[in-house]
Chain A
Amino acid sequence: DTGVSQNPRHKITKRGQNVTFRCDPISEHNRLYWYRQTLGQGPEFLTYFQNEAQLEKSRLLSDRFSAERPKGSFSTLEIQRTEQGDSAMYLCASSLGGMLTYGYTFGSGTRLTVV
Chain B
Amino acid sequence: SQELEQSPQSLIVQEGKNLTINCTSSKTLYGLYWYKQKYGEGLIFLMMLQKGGEEKSHEKITAKLDEKKQQSSLHITASQPSHAGIYLCGADPYGNNRLAFGKGNQVVVIP
Contact = CB atoms under 8 A, between A and B. Distances in A.
A99 B104 contact: no
B40 A99 contact: no
Contacts of A105: 45
B110 interface: no
Interface in A57-93: 89, 91, 93
Interface residues of B, number: 26
Contacts of A6: 42
Contacts of B41: 108-109
A106 B100 contact: no
Contacts of B99: 33, 43, 45, 99, 104
Q: How large is the interface on A (under 10, 10 to 19, 20 to 34, 35 or more residues)?
A: 20 to 34
A44 B97 CA distance: 13
Given A48-B98, A100-B30, A104-B99, 16 more contacts: A4-B42, A31-B97, A40-B103, A40-B104, A42-B102, A42-B103, A45-B98, A99-B97, A100-B50, A100-B92, A103-B33, A103-B45, A103-B48, A104-B43, A104-B45, A106-B44
Interface of A: 4, 6, 31, 33, 40-45, 48, 56, 89, 91, 93, 95, 98-100, 103-109, 111
